Structure 1
């Protein structure tokens, strides 16, 4: 099996990265940064998020597994003390593949026939650089509302515990093929009105955002920021692709939620 190991870049993570690489080579596995079948990330959720984007062109052929060297993560479920156990599992044990849905974002520009397509593991956000964002929100081709406010966040179920949660969105189990739209400080009064609640759209339902005011737009895709002068539309839906995680033991989602937000 071909593998690679990525690191957050701190001393602890770099040391573990080299240990894992050496162990796996001793077991006869092949190190291949270009076309790995297994990507082991050492650091945290951000490290795995970066690895996802680095290998987003080969999601059907690559599985991910994470070791966290900081706080407990939603994607990185192994700890440094378990490195030897994980290495033996990777080298000797058949593993289960767990697939999580992704967000597809298509950006179309004013006066440009070409479009940009992006995949997000956590979320996409759209904001204006100054003043409020005014945007049509279309669902399945029909105008649902005109949004006025700071911006909108469109998240995946696995990303629902991140920025989406901070905006008051619901936590969704990652087995649900869906996307969630959450508002950022919407303007609601006698003149302007939005639904004021997060919306959960199932697979094959498309959300189309069409900015109406003449402002410069900022779009984020996970941890990447894309600055756009003029956007004609931003289309979001559940992607055809999925991220594949290698599971060697149970990793209950609700247990992760409890340990991250409730457990003392």
Structure 2
């Protein structure tokens, strides 16, 4: 086992049932030569307990670290495209991270800059939606070239792994995460004799830049969603989005590819 992967931090919601299960897990982990640490900054392995939502929170609340391995564990009947293990079968997870020549799976991240000031990151998708009962109007630019004027409920900008679930329900594509790209999907766009948009999702290569300019017509306080968190930011004028150089690393298991998990989840 490689020395650099000995410190484990567990990210989970505190409740009696989970705490009881983790007591046994903590003991087993330490018997296998690992250390359970209290602070995520001291960890080389970060393990989330509780499905995809908890995995996204673990990544976000530990600052999208590039120098550690993220592992997702589900409980009971939970499923997850980011989670390869179940808490009741924790020995398989420990054996996987003990491998000397462990293989990792790398997931891309989107960087979102708001108003040319603050930059945020997301692993799944970024959404921008109207916060009032009216359409939001945005001018869409690709590499600083005007593409369309959008009118509708909002837009989803998703990583390849964020192209499942919510994005899929809006008729976005399911994209292989090995493709370095991001997908843009419209939410209830207006298309008639007066207004016109592309009307379908489109995929941008990793070297593209997407900019959304919010038309200031009373919808100046849209809701921005980053993964499973919502932000209400005053006077949003522009959002610039690119695929980040950052990658989230997880354990890569044999016979459990992204498409295996898509099949289990949706078919």
Which deviates the most, 146-155 or 76-85?
A: 76-85
The equivalent residue for 2:3 is none
In 1, Cα distance between equivalents of 2:83 and 2:18: 13
For the 8 Å contact 2:110–2:123, the answer to whether it is kept is yes
Can you list the C-alpha shifts for 1:169-228, whole angstroms capped at 9, x where unaligned?
Answer: 000011111111101100011110000010100101010000113312110111111102
In 2, Cα distance between equivalents of 1:85 and 1:92: 11
In 2, Cα distance between equivalents of 1:43 and 1:90: 19
Q: TM-score, normalised by structure 2?
A: 0.90
The equivalent residue for 1:101 is 108
The equivalent residue for 1:30 is 35
Equivalent residues in 2 for 1:1-264, closer than 5 Å: 1-32=6-37, 33=39, 34-57=41-64, 59-69=65-75, 70-91=77-98, 93-108=100-115, 115-130=117-132, 131-212=134-215, 213-215=217-219, 216-262=221-267
In 2, Cα distance between equivalents of 1:9 and 1:161: 28
Segments of structure 2 that go 5 or more residues without pairing to the other structure are 1-5
In 2, Cα distance between equivalents of 1:19 and 1:105: 40
Which deviates the most, 149-158 or 63-72?
A: 63-72
CA gap 1:115/1:47 in 2 versus in 1, 3 angstroms = same
Runs (4 or more) in structure 1 with deviation over 6 Å come to: none
For the 8 Å contact 1:6–1:40, the answer to whether it is kept is yes
For the 8 Å contact 1:8–1:14, the answer to whether it is kept is no
Q: Secondary structure at the match of 1:260?
A: helix
In 2, Cα distance between equivalents of 1:121 and 1:205: 18
In 2, Cα distance between equivalents of 1:192 and 1:185: 13
Q: CA deviation at 1:28?
A: 2.5
**RMSD value over aligned CA atoms?**
1.7
For the 8 Å contact 1:41–1:67, the answer to whether it is kept is yes
Q: CA deviation at 1:35?
A: 2.5
CA gap 1:249/1:10 in 2 versus in 1, 3 angstroms = farther
In 1, Cα distance between equivalents of 2:92 and 2:233: 46
Q: CA deviation at 1:246?
A: 1.8
Richer in strand (by share)? 1
Q: Secondary structure at the match of 1:231?
A: coil
For the 8 Å contact 1:183–1:196, the answer to whether it is kept is yes
